[in-house]
Amino acid sequence: MKVQLTKQERMGESGHSLLRLLQNESLPLIDLFIREAIQNSLDATLPNQKETIIDVGVKEFSNEKLSKQLEGITDILVSRYGNVNPKAIYLSDKNTSGLTGAIRDDENHDIQQSKIYKLIYGISMNQTQSGAGGSWGLGKTSFFRLGNGIVIYYTRVKLQNGKYEERLAASLIEESNKSDSLLKNNSRGIAWWGWKTDNDNYSDTYPITDQTEIHEILDIFNIEPYSEDETGTTVIIPYINEKRIESHDMKHEDNNEVNSNWWEQDLESRIEIAIQKWYGVRVFNKDYQKYYGSYLNVSLNGKGLYPSTFPTFFQKLRELYSYALRAKDEPNLGSETDNFNIKNIELNRMALEKDSNKIVGDLAYCTLDKEELRIVPPDNEPHPLKFLGYSRDEDIKELNSNIIAYTRKPAMIIDYDVNGTWSHNLPRLENKIVLGIFVPRSEQVLHEDFQNEIMYLDDYLRKSENADHASWQDVIVNNKKTTIVSRIRGNVSKVLNEEYGDRVEESKNSKASMLGRKLGNLILPSTKKGRTGKPAVEGGGNTGAGNARNRKIYFEILSTQIIEDSTMLVNANLSLNQGTASVIDIDINMGTRVYSYHQWVKDMNLNYPFEIIDTKIQTVNETTINKSLIDLDMDNLDVVQSAFSNPNRIEIVNKDDEKVDITLSIKVKVNDGTINPVFQVKEVSHND
C-alpha cells in the first residue's frame, strides 16, 4: 500500500496531541478499546436485526509479510521486529452496515457524512445518529495506544446500486518525539496507507478496493473476508505492546503487583473480562431485544461468550438490568422477586415534557453476601471490587461497598460508582454489598424548553458524555442550565437511603465500638460535622524544606467551606517547578499520628472517612481554566485522580519547561465529621 505523510502546517494536529484527546488514565487500555470498538459496532447495526455479531480476539502474524505492505516504514519494521511473529488484536462485526459513504472528497458527495471518512481520516467529528455515542475519531485514539500506532480497517458495504464492495486502509498515529517512532523526519506523527493517483508522499491516499490485494493482507492475520450478503467492519491492531498495556494499567496502583488477577495473565483473558464488565448486560439479552433492538452475540477467538459462564457478580448485574428494562411494563416487579428491588426515578420539573409520567428511568438494586457472590470456597470467585480495578487486599478485605452502575440505550456500562455520589450518605453494610444499576427510559421526550436542540432523554445523556463515555455531566441546552443528571443521581441516592436508612444507626454504633477497641485512650478531635475547621497541611518531599525559592513544590490551602451536608470544598494554590511530579493525599489526623488511606484501612479495618468527589483546575499561571479533571486537556499539565488505587490522591505533573502556578478546588465527601483531614503534598518520580 502507498503511504500518505502529513505535512507540518498551521493549526495542524500532531499525533502527540491526538493521543492525548482521550485522556483517561484510570481505565485499562484493553477496556478503553473494548468500550469504543463495540460501541461503534452496535451503533452501526442494521435495522431489524435480532443480534449484533462480534468476534474479538488475538492473532499472531508475520512481520515480514506485513512490513512489505506498509510503504515508507518497511525497513524500520524489519529492523525492529525481525522474523518474530508479533501479536495483533482484531474485532470483527456482522449484521452491521460497514463503513459506508464516499471514499474520496472529489466524488460530489458530502464527505462529512461518510462513515469511512469520519472513522479513518477525520477527528472530533460528532455522531449524528440518535443513540450513538461520542464523536467519531476521539474514542478511536484508544486503538492507537495498544501497539506501535498502526491500525488497519477492513470493511464490506452494500452500495446504492445493490452491489457489494470491500475496502481496506491503514493509518498511524504516534508520538513523533519518542525515540521509537516509526516515521522518521516527520514531526506530525500521522500517516495513512491505501492507493493513490501519484507518487507524492504527501498526496491523498484512499481505501483500496481490489479484493485480491485486500484478501492478501487479511491472510497475513488469518482473518476470513466477508462473503455472500455479509457487511461489517473489522479493526486490526498489529504489533500489540503488552508491556505498555501492563505498565499503563498499574501506573496508579500503589502496590505495583503486575498481573495479580487471573484475567491479567494474557490478552485474551483481559478482553474476556472487559467485555463482561462493560457490555455483559446486553449479551444474549432477550429483554433488550424486546425493548430496543439487537442483543449482543459476542465471541472470543471464535468461541462464544455466554452469560451462564460469567462471574456471578456480572450475572447478578445482568439480571438487575433486565428487571429495570421490564419495569415499564411490570410496575410491581421486584417486590417479592429474588430479593431484587425496582424503583422508578422521577423528575417532576424541567426534565421531561409536561404531560409525561415524569419517570426518567428505573433503578434495580439488591444486597449480596459472600455466599450469593460465590467468593467463598469451593467457588472462590474474585471479590467484585477486583473486577473494578481495586487490587490491594485492604480495599477488598470485607464486603461493605455500595456499587451503582449506570448505562443508557446502547447498554454499555458508563461507570461503576463505588461508594460515591450515586449512593451519597448511604451506610456500608456489614458483610454485604449493595449492587444497583440505573437504566434510563431512553425514549422519553425532554421538556418543551429543550426540544429545539434535543428531543429525547437518551440524546441528552449522550451529549453529556465525553469521548471516553466514562461519566455523565450536565450540559447547557438551548442556553438553559440543566440539572437532569445531578437530579437523577440525587434521587437514586435518596431511594437507596430510604431503603437502607434503618441501618445507619447500627453502622454508626458498630463503627464507634471498633474505634474504641482500636484507638484505646486516644482522644478524637472535637470537630463536628458542619463546622469543619481548616484542614492541616503536612509537607512532604521538598514541600516545606529550605528557602522558598528553592522548593520544587509549594502548596497552600486558601479556604475551606461546607457547601452542602457532608461535603467540604477546599481551595488551594500549588506551584510546581519544571518537570516536577507531585501527589496530593487526604490523610487522617488522629492527633498523635497521621494515617494514610491504605494504613487506615489496614490498621483500623474501617471505611475511610473522606473521599474526593471532584477536582477542578481554576487557573494555570493566572489563565482561567475552570475545568474538572474529566474535561481537562493541557499539553503542559497532567492531572489525574487515582480513583482505583486511592480515591483520595491527586497526581499533578508539570511537563512544561517553566514553573507553573495552579489554583484548584477539591470537593471532598466527609463521611465522619469527628475526624480531621490532613493534606499531604510531596514530590514523586515521573516516567515519561
Please state whether the peptide bond connecting residue 609 to the residue before it is cis, i.e. omega within 30 degrees of 0: no
**Residue 509's pLDDT band (boundaries 50, 70, 90)?**
very low
CB atoms within 10 A of CB 7: 11
Please say whether the beta carbons of 122 and 139 come within 8 A: no
Residue 246 confidence (pLDDT): 87
CA gap 254, 645 in Å, rounded: 6
Residue 325 confidence (pLDDT): 94
- Helix intervals (H) in 140-210: 141-144
Ranges assigned E (strand) in 46-107 = 51-60, 87-94
Given a cut of 70, is residue 527 above it in pLDDT? no
Cα separation values, 328 from 50, 378, 438, Å? 21, 39, 13
Least confident of 42-51, 378-387, 543-552: 543-552
CB atoms within 10 A of CB 473: 13
**Residue 171's pLDDT band (boundaries 50, 70, 90)?**
very high
| Percent share of the chain, pLDDT over 90 | 46
- The set of cell numbers assigned to 198 is 501519484
**Residue 602's pLDDT band (boundaries 50, 70, 90)?**
confident
- The set of cell numbers assigned to 43 is 451503533
Given a cut of 50, is residue 526 above it in pLDDT? no
> Is the pLDDT higher at 659 or at 272?
272
DSSP state of 601: H
DSSP state of 275: H
Given a cut of 80, is residue 136 above it in pLDDT? no
Given a cut of 60, is residue 542 above it in pLDDT? no
Who's near 282: CB < 8 A, 6+ residues apart?
Answer: 42, 288, 295, 296, 410, 411, 412
Residue 551 confidence (pLDDT): 63
Please say whether the beta carbons of 402 and 423 come within 8 A: yes
> Is the pLDDT higher at 95 or at 584?
95
CA gap 351, 446 in Å, rounded: 6
Please say whether the beta carbons of 89 and 274 come within 8 A: no
Please say whether the beta carbons of 277 and 413 come within 8 A: yes
Given a cut of 70, is residue 514 above it in pLDDT? no
Mean pLDDT of the chain: 83
Least confident of 185-199, 234-248, 486-500, 555-569: 555-569
For the sheet containing 295-300, what is the strand order?
2-5, 190-194, 164-173, 150-158, 232-237, 87-94, 51-60, 295-300, 303-304
Residue 254 confidence (pLDDT): 43
User: CA quadruple 569, 573, 578, 580: dihedral positive or negative?
Assistant: negative
Please say whether the beta carbons of 636 and 576 come within 8 A: no
pLDDT digit string, tens, across residues 86-123: 999 999 999 999 999 988 766 556 666 788 888 888 76
Given a cut of 60, is residue 128 above it in pLDDT? no
CA gap 595, 607 in Å, rounded: 13
Residue 538 confidence (pLDDT): 54
CA gap 472, 169 in Å, rounded: 34
Average pLDDT on 560-583 reads 85
CA gap 96, 369 in Å, rounded: 41
Average pLDDT on 297-325 reads 96
**Residue 638's pLDDT band (boundaries 50, 70, 90)?**
confident
Given a cut of 80, is residue 517 above it in pLDDT? no
Given a cut of 60, is residue 586 above it in pLDDT? yes
CB atoms within 10 A of CB 200: 11
Given a cut of 80, is residue 531 above it in pLDDT? no
Angle formed at CA 191 by CA 188 and CA 194, multiple of 5 degrees = 165
Name which of 100, 72, 88, 55 is nearest 190 in CA terms: 72
Given a cut of 90, is residue 135 above it in pLDDT? no
Q: Across-strand partners of 501?
A: none
